[in-house]
A and B are shown apart, each in its own frame.
Chain A
Amino acid sequence: MSIRQTDQPTIPDAPATGNTINQLDWDLLWERFGIAVVTVVIWLIAGLTTPGFANTDNLVSVLRQSAFVGVSAVGMTIAIIAGAFDLSVGSTQALCAWAAVSVAKLAGVFPAFAVAVTLGGIVGLCNGFLVSLVRIPAFIATLGTMFLVNGLTYIVTNGQTARFSGKPFVWWGNGQVMGLPVPSLVFLGCALVGVAILHRTSFGRFVYAIGSNREAANVAGVPIVKTTILIFVVVGLFTGLGAMLLGARLYSAGPGLEPGFELNVIATVVLGGTRLAGGRGSMLGTVAAAILFATLANLLNLNHVDAFVQRVVVGLVLLLALSVEGVRRRLAEYWTKQAARTSQASQPVREDQL
């Protein structure tokens, strides 16, 4: 997949190249805001057409549900911008959630939070180590860690689920502050932290650099090894936090919690506009995508869509959203060819294939 420039030198007033400039803007706009806009629109339409959607309880529930995948997706966004991804977040989540619930039972909320986040960080450290020092490609390394952590969780817990319903703990998953669900506020906070990390720290700059062009970054002196390890640690930390929230929401957690979670997280990030090729991303998109998925599940239930059909719909939405760019590009190519044929000015034919 070719890396496309975000900062094209402005093409001087060539006639009928309005198309070209517009194409560029549209792409970027769609990537950054597309999903957010879609989510808002869907909320509007659903509010008007689906009975039961637009009431407080339901909306709160939808927002709440989006947070659990969302928190982990914040970390994953950073990873994908750097061009890596982490398949082990599902297993990590199970382990951390179980730890959080167990510790909360024994020692209270804050220790639970500390343990969950730390565990996540440790797994992230292992991943980072495997990827940067042992030089295993991220896909395989995290695939292996996924199996490992999964098995370990079963062994440590002996297959049993931990349960705890202490009010201060479960408030983190079920409570509300000023009408908004607590996990969603945490999610929002994480997203803001994520944005800050990406745009205000040197680490963030390195992430973008590695994602855009690893070789160049290396040559330019970016500390690749340290950054890579840190990336995976960040993913692990966020996952651990999200895990604690989930454990609080469910009043319980055990091995085998949410198989397929990692794919949901990756799908959320990609749906949000961050491309797998790396180099750029949209945290706003991730937030919107998380909310969109939760909204979709909710709407499907409210409209009593058959469970088997639901699976098809969810997959279709994912594909549809990601095809928009491709379809638009096809159309643009077509129009560009037309314009080139009719106008005198020769347009630069861009190599904009995959």
Chain B
Amino acid sequence: MKNLTRTSKLLLSIFALIFTATCLTQNSAAQGSAKKKIGFSVYDMQYGFFQEMEKGTREAAQAAGYDYVLVDQKSSESTMVSATQDLINQGISALIISPFKPDALGPIVDAAKEKKIPVVIDDIGGGGTDYDVIVISDNEKGGILAAEYIDSVLKSRPNNSKKVASITCEPSAVYAARRNAGFEKRIKELGYQVVATLSGNSKQEEGYRVAKDILSAHPDVAAIFSCNDPMAVGAAQAIADSGKSGVKDVLVVGFNADEIALQAIKAGQMGATIQQVPREMGKMTVDLATKLMNGEKPQYSKADKREVYVPVNLITAKEAEALLKK
């Protein structure tokens, strides 16, 4: 099969020729265009939270007159790096990124810095890199809020077993894990016992299954805190299926303020959720990007870490109603 190996060599050389030819004839400069381009690299568009964030970012960018480009990391750090690299190579003037794995931000920030592109991080974490600014909601604080809310409700209940359970997100979501960490720490301080910490892998149907197991193991559990809303709603369903109430019998608190959770709260199926404001955060990042592109320094909440805080809010039934109307 000698001619076959020769043909492979031939093909390889054609390939190499094309590669060098294109390199020589094209330069790496971006297409000249009057409008500035903002690139947004998002964690995963499968989640309502990020859909909201993307909407806020897009609307703000378009309102400010920028060109807007989006890439989806699809919950993969490898895609995060390659897709964001695609953005950077397209000649964007500013990069907004909501990173799936902040630890892997290193190459991205370095590549952006090389091209003098300002980097604005939207939530999740900064990975200890040299970003320009990060807009961050306090996950730990959210967990603490949930703990305090649960305590305030359970205090007034006659047979408060003082037992709670905590459902965590998938193990690789280390920043979301802070919610549970904050929750468990605070609830223990308030005198409760955390009888179970189980992972629902961030999946709704697993939140259901895990909640059922928690109820089996500890029938007198008084409250369940879930790292995200899909799992919380799943847990609330499990409780309902066991003939109990997700508010009166086992208080369920979620995180995110996704639409399904708000509806569940309104319908009395679960107690509360911790709201992040992804849409506003998206808008904030665009404003910050504008400032940075104009060479101004943003106003930090915490200057040494270049953080801009976004408050998290407790959403109970009355707030849920109002939010849904919006």
Contacts and interface: CB of A to CB of B under 8 A. Distances in A.
B28 A55 contact: yes
Interface stretch (B84-92, B249-257, B275-283, B285-293): B84-92
B70 interface: yes
Contacts of B105: 251
A256 B170 contact: yes
A304 B70 contact: yes
A313 interface: no
Interface stretch (A76-84, A159-167, A214-222, A335-343): A159-167
A251 B104 contact: yes
Given A52-B31, A249-B107, A251-B106, A258 B172 contact: no
A97 to B, nearest CB: 10
B45 A307 contact: yes
A351 interface: no
A43 B79 CA distance: 21
B27 interface: yes
A98 B164 CA distance: 34
B107 A59 contact: no
Contact of A40 (B4, B15, B27): B15
Interface stretch (A30-38, A132-140, A225-233): A30-38
B74 interface: yes
Given A174-B107, A251-B103, A255-B171, A284 B90 contact: no
Which label, helix, strand, loop or mixed, suits the secondary structure of the A interface?
A: helix
A254 B174 CA distance: 11
A249 B81 contact: yes
A163 B103 contact: yes
A323 interface: no
Nearest to A299: B86
Contact of A55 (B15, B89, B172): B89
Interface in B137-186: 170-172, 174, 177
Interface in A93-135: none
B103 A255 contact: no
Nearest to B7: A33
A55 B90 CA distance: 10
Interface residues of A, number: 52
B82 A61 contact: yes
Nearest to A6: B1
B86 A59 contact: no
Which label, helix, strand, loop or mixed, suits the secondary structure of the B interface?
A: helix
Interface footprint category on B: 35 or more
Contacts of B87: 301
B242 interface: no
A41 to B, nearest CB: 10
A297 B171 contact: no
Interface string A41-77: 0011001000110111111010001001000000000
B18 interface: yes
A52 B70 CA distance: 15
B216 interface: no
Contact of B11 (A44, A47, A284): A284
Contacts of A56: 22-23, 26-28
A37 B15 CA distance: 9
Contact of A161 (B4, B11, B26, B103): B103
B128 A307 contact: no
Interface string B12-24: 1011001100110
B86 A298 contact: yes
B284 interface: no
Contact of B22 (A36, A59, A154): A59
Contacts of A301: 71, 83, 86-87
30 contacts: A32-B4, A33-B7, A33-B11, A36-B15, A40-B15, A40-B18, A52-B31, A52-B89, A55-B28, A55-B89, A57-B88, A61-B82, A159-B172, A161-B101, A163-B106, A163-B128, A165-B106, A249-B107, A250-B78, A250-B104, A251-B106, A252-B103, A255-B172, A259-B76, A284-B12, A297-B82, A301-B86, A302-B90, A307-B74, A310-B72
Interface of A: 28, 32-33, 36-37, 39-40, 43-44, 47, 51-52, 54-59, 61, 65, 68, 154, 159-161, 163, 165, 170, 173-174, 179, 246, 249-252, 254-259, 284, 294, 297-298, 301-302, 304, 307-308, 310
Given A173-B107, A251-B106, A301-B83, 5 more contacts: A55-B29, A57-B28, A61-B85, A170-B107, A258-B77
